[in-house]
Structure 1
Amino acid sequence: MPSAAVQPSFEDLGTPLSDVTFVVVDLETTGGRAADSGITEIGAVKVRGGEVLGELQSLVDPGHPVPAFVARLTGITTAMVATAPPIDLVLPSFLEFARDAVLVAHNAPFDVGFLRAACQRLGYDWPGFRVVDTVPLARRVVTRDEAPNHKLSTLAALFRATVTPEHRALADARATVDVLHALLDRLAPLGITHLEDLATAADPVPPDVRRKRTLADPLPEAPGVYLFRGPGDEVLYVGTSTNLRKRVRSYFTAAEKRGRITEMVRIAHAVTPIVCATPLEAQVRELRLIAEHAPRYNRRSKHPERQSWVRLTDEPYPRLSVVRDVRPGTPHIGPYPSRQAALAAVDALHDALPLRQCTARLPRVARVAGSPCALAGMGRCSAPCTAVGAADASYDGVAAAARTALTADPALVVDALAARVGRLAAQERYEEAGHVTQRLRSFVQGAARAQRLGPLARCAELVAARPVSVGPGSMAGGWELVVVKHARLAATAVTGPDEDPLPVVDALRATAEVVEPPVAPAPACHPEEAALVLAWLEQPGVRLVHVSDPWSWPVRSAAAHTDLARVAAAVAPGAREDDAVATMTAC
């Protein structure tokens, strides 16, 4: 192989093509389908660095006559293969010859398909060879102006191969070797110089994008966060990965299909890595960096100020309100990603409880009766505005029920809306049933989120440990330690297999970030960070080392109702089973 295809300065990015052992294989067969055809000849050439290391060739008895048209094409007749060894004797020799090599073939699915089928029939495990097909490589670099097609004979003539293909296995394999080397020469200027590049070499990647893969050169193979930087050191994009170099390198291959990201890569001039001790730390750092820099190529919103909460107001006659910030002394549920989702939860509560919906501030004891609204006439509002000379005690019960539904047991709301869904389904009003189900889902999800976040947000310090696995079924890889303050990740570390974790825990607690207490259930961090921390804490095997405050949520919490399949199961008696299915499909 000519030296032009080798760029030693990129060696640490993969396996240079000059160091790869290729086995170029070609088969002759009795037909075009492995299911009803047999192999009549195998030819293979082993090469590395442009040097031929060995060859293998053998006729094969297919076990049935060779069709006349195949004999005319290949010159292989039934008489020639009558005394040849069967495939069960030839295949083991080929597998040993090709062991630990990369298979190459022209129209590889055909040849590899026959080899895999033979392995399956004979009970051999397919070795899982990495396969390179020269046809798509040729389509990438050989234009129609140069050659009318990409057949082996056409390419061999174009590249002046030393052997002319003649539909005999070894000759065709030798010609494919010359074609492979010529194709690799053409691919090298496009940045395809390593074995790993060949996986995406056939897909069109703009040369200016592929050349920028050098940005991944200095990155470590470690978990962490990466920042693409553009003109003026602007942070264009923030991402996270368990292997920084491998992930960043994928941005410069055909594996990256996103147009916006390709645009970003074109203007990027550097990639800054931040190595993290654990994947959790990497995920948290990604969130914080996106919130800090607001990169224009990150689509996901990471702005906590855009989150909405549903609040029961602190008034003589409380009502529901959608707010941006959590205020002390009143129950809240959420956060919700949008105001629309929060309003859907409010509608669910109004469907179940006759809470007032007007925004006027009502005194506890009114001197003059107010005018009841239309909702009062429909029985959807308790109308405390009509009470005169004394407090409306009945509304206190409504407000208490709302408080319970928000902070403890949402069963009253769930049961009321489930019954309504059942009635609508029985009447085949599936679209309306879907809307009710969607409102119920918003309420339950927001209540469950607040009930999970609240206890962790109130906890001044929590220390937990998770065993680090070093292999399948192994738990002897040390400990992953985290310190959480008011739901915010304040410190993390990993200990070795033989290291005592308790001194590390003490050091982490002493050096952890100082976090000011928030107004619960809002956490002292981005809600998505709190969700990541909670997901980590709830993993199997996590052990609590220290907790400063109680960390729990109600037994009959909203989390017990998050599976809204029970809504379908609550369809009214006499309704058909497909009513329930239609109800859930509609939502």
Structure 2
Amino acid sequence: MSPTLPAYQATFDELGTPLRDVTFVVVDLETTGTNAREGGITEIGAVKVRGGEVLGEFQSLVNPGQPVPAFVARLTGITNAMVATAPGIELVLPSFLEFAHGSVLVAHNAPFDVGFLRAAAERLEYPWPGFPVVDTVPLARRVVTRDEAPNHKLSTLATLFRAAVSPEHRALADARATVDVLHALFERLAPLGVTHLEDLATAADPVPPDVRRKRHLADGLPDAPGVYLFRGPGDEVLYVGTSTNIRKRVRSYFTAAEKRRRITEMVRVAHEVTPVVCATPLEAQVRELRLITEHAPRYNRRSKFPERASWVRLTDEAYPRLSVVRDVKAGSPHIGPFASARTAQEAIAALHDALPLRQCSPRLPLVARTPGSPCALAGMGRCSAPCTAVEAPDTGYAAAAEAAREALLGDASPVVRALADRIARLAAEERFEEAGEVTRRLRAYVVGAHRAQRLTPLAGCAELVAARPAQGTVPGGGETSGARGWEIVVVRHGRLAATGVSGPGEDPLPLVDALRATAEVVEPPVAPQPASHPEEADLLLAWLDSPGVRLVHVTDAWACPVRSAAAHADLAWARESVATMTAC
């Protein structure tokens, strides 16, 4: 059985330390060829450095298990006789991995050297530790111009930077030369703002100097979840964001990883970053949403104006009709909210396609004094023309209104079946554009109905308390699964009223009592509109649906209709074919 090597996985984001504090292992290989899958390693050489000081060296010939080609022997001086008595890679690789453990690998043309090492580990069934890797070739291309050097080969760069050792196609000598090249590249990159390990991940990509110089704005920010606010002249809030690690996220804005033009413009204007540390990622997401709504930052594109959300209402009158509204009114069924009035109109069109509701806007009396003129829809049998009722109320229209109420509040199947049948007919007639339009209408209706039916019980619940194992814990121990902490959330009428995290091994119930006692007082809204930004309610619902959540306390019923739009929610996202929707 192959020995099990210690697993190690690190990323640039995880390390986030100044270059002087990073331990680098500069490695070079000599091989029998260029194909990592077929060739073998003949020599490994490595130098461990930190802060410009050499900490150790590693060198070993390796028996590749195959003949050394003549041209390789002439190039490197490594012959078959030299490697005949050398240890195999199964003995050398564990020693090298132990030497490099916890370090950042550096190589000139790193994909070649690291590719051979990874291939060897795979053949030996060793887990690859996942070292962070720095390649000096792209770094050299960033700071060494063609006027200085004709190419970026190791020998050329070693000569340019006057390396103490000349590369000679032997692993240790080439690794030593690469160390001098690496340090010279660091000196050139420092004025460009590349001073930390994570900067190297994007140092090869050009970043405007004025943007990179702003990286000091991330200094001192906490390594904690929360919200960050970029501020500009006059303390104006330019942009609000959230992250599980504020400092790492803010630092990324000053690297080539940030490619959004408007954000690059924002960074140029910003002069300060304000952090808001949060107890949980959920609290950070909610605070971000509320701050965006409060400040309407010019560089944020979403969630600035919740009052612009649209709803579809079945009006409360003698002969109800569908209407697009901004606010929810008590006593009338609603679906939504929709991101735009246009989407709400598409949902109304879907309902009109399936139900014979009137589409005129005048408010009609129960019985008119004089008969009205029926519209074209009445002639097509799509409306019972209640405007013509003069002797008695139009009782037929009441059935259509009740069907509309049920489609909004409960079972969406009649609307889905009617439109799916129509889509199938249009597709069979190869009227694909019309089929696509009906599909958009159906999708808008299902999304709006599904969202309202989920929001209604949440908005109507005076208080809901739930708990989830804190991030990093592994549930599975029954009632003791929270031994390493719980995230506690108090929700009132669809608004996050309080949240906290119990400590490892602590009884979470005292924290639950404290949070309930100190939670924000929330006035009941008119359901299905929650007492918060609709997106905040969506965040809470997603959290409540996440694995491991347990309900601790609920004051009111919290359930959706059995035959709700949720049964057809897949239609909201399905785009593949009409057959899929027809089957549903």
Q: TM-score w.r.t. structure 2 length? A: 0.91
Cα deviation, 1:489-512, whole Å, max 9, x if unaligned, reads 122222223434333333323322
SS across alignment from 2:37: coil
**1:128 and 2:117 aligned:** no
CA contact (8 A) 1:225 1:244 kept: yes
CA contact (8 A) 2:312 2:336 kept: yes
Distance between the aligned counterparts of 2:288 and 2:572, measured in 1? 34
SS across alignment from 1:464: strand
Cα offset, 1:547, TM superposition: 2.8
Distance between the aligned counterparts of 2:102 and 2:429, measured in 1? 66
Distance between the aligned counterparts of 2:580 and 2:518, measured in 1? 54
1:230-245 correspondence to structure 2 within 5 Å = 230-245=232-247
CA contact (8 A) 1:349 1:413 kept: yes
**1:369 and 2:371 aligned:** yes
Moved over 4 A (4+): 565-568, 581-584
CA contact (8 A) 1:13 1:217 kept: no
**1:475 and 2:497 aligned:** no
1:64-143 correspondence to structure 2 within 5 Å = 64-143=66-145
- Larger mean CA deviation between 484-493 and 71-80 belongs to 71-80
CA contact (8 A) 1:278 1:494 kept: yes
CA contact (8 A) 1:452 1:553 kept: yes
Match of 2:568 in 1: 561
CA contact (8 A) 2:354 2:415 kept: yes
SS across alignment from 1:562: helix
Cα deviation, 1:12-67, whole Å, max 9, x if unaligned, reads 99433233332222222222212232222222222233233333333333333333
Distance between the aligned counterparts of 2:69 and 2:215, measured in 1? 51
Quickly say closer, same or farther: Cα 1:47–1:222, change in 2 above 3 A.
closer
Number of residue pairs the alignment of both structures matches = 565
Cα offset, 1:445, TM superposition: 1.3
Cα deviation, 1:254-313, whole Å, max 9, x if unaligned, reads 221212111111111111111112222111111111011110111113312211111111
Distance between the aligned counterparts of 2:468 and 2:50, measured in 1? 46
Cα offset, 1:142, TM superposition: 1.1
1:172-187 correspondence to structure 2 within 5 Å = 172-187=174-189
Distance between the aligned counterparts of 1:89 and 1:487, measured in 2? 61
Match of 1:284 in 2: 286
Quickly say closer, same or farther: Cα 1:89–1:462, change in 2 above 3 A.
closer
Match of 1:300 in 2: 302
Distance between the aligned counterparts of 1:341 and 1:374, measured in 2? 25
Cα offset, 1:208, TM superposition: 2.3
Quickly say closer, same or farther: Cα 1:44–1:566, change in 2 above 3 A.
closer
Cα offset, 1:578, TM superposition: 7.4
Cα offset, 1:566, TM superposition: 12
Q: Which of the residues 37, 41, 47 maps onto 2:43?
A: 41
What is the Cα-based RMSD across aligned positions, in Å?
A: 2.4
Distance between the aligned counterparts of 1:234 and 1:365, measured in 2? 59
Cα offset, 1:567, TM superposition: 9.4
CA contact (8 A) 1:483 1:492 kept: yes
CA contact (8 A) 1:204 1:254 kept: yes
Match of 2:6 in 1: none
Quickly say closer, same or farther: Cα 1:350–1:245, change in 2 above 3 A.
same
Distance between the aligned counterparts of 1:260 and 1:23, measured in 2? 39
SS across alignment from 1:491: strand
**1:519 and 2:526 aligned:** yes
SS across alignment from 1:368: coil
The amino acid of 2:514's aligned partner reads A
Distance between the aligned counterparts of 2:78 and 2:168, measured in 1? 12
Distance between the aligned counterparts of 2:171 and 2:461, measured in 1? 73
CA contact (8 A) 1:45 1:55 kept: yes
Distance between the aligned counterparts of 1:329 and 1:390, measured in 2? 25
Distance between the aligned counterparts of 1:467 and 1:122, measured in 2? 38
- Larger mean CA deviation between 332-341 and 539-548 belongs to 539-548
The amino acid of 1:217's aligned partner reads D
**1:336 and 2:346 aligned:** no
Match of 1:15 in 2: 17
Distance between the aligned counterparts of 1:583 and 1:411, measured in 2? 12
Distance between the aligned counterparts of 1:170 and 1:380, measured in 2? 85
Match of 1:7 in 2: none
SS across alignment from 2:357: coil
SS across alignment from 1:421: helix
SS across alignment from 1:563: helix
Quickly say closer, same or farther: Cα 1:259–1:583, change in 2 above 3 A.
farther
Distance between the aligned counterparts of 1:141 and 1:437, measured in 2? 54
Quickly say closer, same or farther: Cα 1:433–1:367, change in 2 above 3 A.
same
The amino acid of 1:520's aligned partner reads A
Q: Which of the residues 497, 507, 510 maps onto 2:514?
A: 507
SS across alignment from 1:289: helix
Quickly say closer, same or farther: Cα 1:397–1:536, change in 2 above 3 A.
same
Any stretches of 5+ residues in structure 1 without a counterpart? 1-11, 569-576
The amino acid of 2:258's aligned partner reads E
Q: Percent identity?
A: 79
Distance between the aligned counterparts of 1:483 and 1:103, measured in 2? 47
SS across alignment from 2:122: helix
1:199-210 correspondence to structure 2 within 5 Å = 199-210=201-212
Any stretches of 5+ residues in structure 2 without a counterpart? 1-13, 476-480
SS across alignment from 2:304: coil
CA contact (8 A) 2:482 2:505 kept: no
Quickly say closer, same or farther: Cα 1:556–1:322, change in 2 above 3 A.
same
- Larger mean CA deviation between 383-392 and 333-342 belongs to 383-392
Match of 2:579 in 1: 580
Cα offset, 1:107, TM superposition: 0.8
Cα deviation, 1:179-203, whole Å, max 9, x if unaligned, reads 1111112222222223333222222
CA contact (8 A) 1:24 1:45 kept: yes
Distance between the aligned counterparts of 1:546 and 1:36, measured in 2? 63
Quickly say closer, same or farther: Cα 1:354–1:72, change in 2 above 3 A.
same
SS across alignment from 2:570: coil
Match of 1:528 in 2: 535
**1:497 and 2:499 aligned:** no
Distance between the aligned counterparts of 1:515 and 1:460, measured in 2? 8
Quickly say closer, same or farther: Cα 1:427–1:498, change in 2 above 3 A.
same
CA contact (8 A) 2:420 2:582 kept: no
Cα offset, 1:119, TM superposition: 2.0
Quickly say closer, same or farther: Cα 1:55–1:516, change in 2 above 3 A.
closer
Quickly say closer, same or farther: Cα 1:152–1:402, change in 2 above 3 A.
same
1:395-414 correspondence to structure 2 within 5 Å = 395-414=397-416
CA contact (8 A) 2:324 2:341 kept: yes
Cα offset, 1:470, TM superposition: 4.2
Q: Which of the residues 538, 557, 561 maps onto 1:550?
A: 557
Cα deviation, 1:485-542, whole Å, max 9, x if unaligned, reads 2211122222223434333333323322222222221111111111112222233433
Distance between the aligned counterparts of 2:311 and 2:434, measured in 1? 25
**1:485 and 2:492 aligned:** yes
The amino acid of 1:412's aligned partner reads P
